[in-house]
Amino acid sequence: MSSGKSSIEPVNGIILLNKEDGLSSNRALQNVKKLIGAKKGGHGGSLDPAATGMLILCFGEATKICPYLLNNHKTYRVIAEFGKSTSTGDREGTIEETSEIHMHDHDYWVGILEKFLGESAQIPPMYSALKKDGQRLYKLARKGEVIQREARKINISSIKLENIGDDCVEFLVTVSKGTYIRVLVEDIAKKAGMVGYTKKLHRVGVGNFKEKQMLCIQSIEESIASSGTENKDYLLPVDTALLDWSSIHLNQDELGMFLNGRIIEVSSSSKGLIRVYDNEEKFIGIGEQKENYLLIPRRIFHL
């Protein structure tokens, strides 16, 4: 991969990378960071190396929004293969159990999938990044240890059957934070009287970001090769990650107080986290608005 030269202007913005198979989230971040000449970068929620699809990469001032992205719902395209289960729940693990394969018609699988809609409790897998006494569970799992895990509340807001194969089904699912698709696939297989594992996992959406907005690394390289790093068409503005929030515009006096970290009284009746702009539509920060019309500065963006 060729690297772009460092820009004179700071790199502030978001790239929705279509991460390729076999690449860790951090390696993908470092590759793009070097390519576009960014000094600072982070991501808004990792993907397993074997998973593909939307990885939100934040650069410069956009790294300040990373914590706000973790609670977003996520949408995945999943291929569940039946007849065998693996130690990790995906194709990276070793086969632990096999079963007969019982495939059914469209209506049967629609009925099975719909049983998982709504709120439920899910036990996180051992092969996860959760910690027990300061150690990642997947590190303990590699030593053959199994730790008791508490079930966590999850929500599946949408699940739609897309294809049926000889030994697999493909579906599109939208889930809440903390949902493990590998566990969901195992539970679906069990409900159908089989064992199964996640053969393919492709993330197509996070929050209000859509699949069509994703860029592959090659398209970023081509953009830089044709117009250099000065033309940053591949970057989305920082506030695009927060467009489902309410917003407020401040006048000059209010702006000065907000930028100095002072709580101000505003006329808006919104509550909770809110996007803050000046009168020229420039995004300047994140505030938290209370019931008593007070706006508390939470993050200032120097764009």
Instruction: Assign domain 245-300 to its CATH architecture.
Output: Roll (2.30)
Rounded average pLDDT over 259-287: 91
What's residue 7's pLDDT?
Answer: 44
Give the whole-angstrom CA distance, residue 200 versus residue 51: 7
Do the two domains 13-71+209-239 and 75-203 of this chain adopt the same fold?
Answer: yes
CATH number of 75-203: 3.30.2350.10
* pLDDT at residue 124, rounded to an integer: 82
What is d(CA 60, CA 66) in angstroms, rounded to the nearest whole number? 11
CB-CB contact of 97 with 195 (8 Å):
yes
Residue 198: partners with Cβ closer than 8 Å, 6 or more residues away: 78, 79, 80, 81, 89, 90, 91, 181, 182, 185
Catalytic residues: 48
Task: Assess whether pLDDT exceeds 60 at residue 186.
Answer: yes
Give the fold, CATH level 3, of 13-71+209-239.
Answer: Pseudouridine synthase (3.30.2350)
Sign for the pseudo-dihedral over CA of 38, 42, 43, 47: positive
Q: Length of the chain in residues, anyone? A: 303
The model's pTM is: 0.89
Position 35 pLDDT exceeds 60: yes
- 161 beta partners: 171
77-118 pLDDT, tens digit each = 999 999 999 998 999 889 999 999 999 999 999 999 999 999
Tell me which of 260 and 291 has the higher pLDDT: 260
The per-residue pLDDT for range 104-159, each reduced to its tens digit, is 999 999 999 999 999 999 988 777 666 676 677 767 667 676 767 788 899 999 99
Residue 6: pLDDT band with limits 50, 70, 90 = very low
* % of the chain residues with pLDDT over 70: 90
What is the predicted pLDDT for the residue at 4?
47
The secondary structure element, H or E, covering residue 226 is helix 217-227
Is 84 within 8 Å of 98 (Cβ atoms)? Answer: yes
Tell me how far apart the 2 most distant CA atoms of the chain are, in Å. 71
Query: In the 8-state DSSP scheme, what is residue 298?
Result: E
- Cβ pair 175, 160 in contact under 8 A: no
Q: What is the pLDDT of residues 58-68, one digit of tens each?
A: 999 999 999 99
C-alpha distance from residue 82 to each of 100, 213, 291, 296 (Å): 8, 32, 52, 52
**pLDDT at position 71:** 87
- What per-residue confidence (pLDDT) applies to 10? 83
Place of tokens 């068409």: 233
pLDDT attached to residue 5? 46
pLDDT digits (tens, 9 = 90+) for 224-264: 888 766 678 899 999 999 999 999 999 999 999 999 999 99
The residue ranking higher by pLDDT, 269 or 225, is 225
Q: List the chain domain ranges.
A: 13-71+209-239, 75-203, 245-300
CA distance 241 to 195: 38
Picking from 252, 273, 213, 277, the residue whose alpha carbon sits closest to that of residue 18 is 213
pLDDT at 2 over 80: no
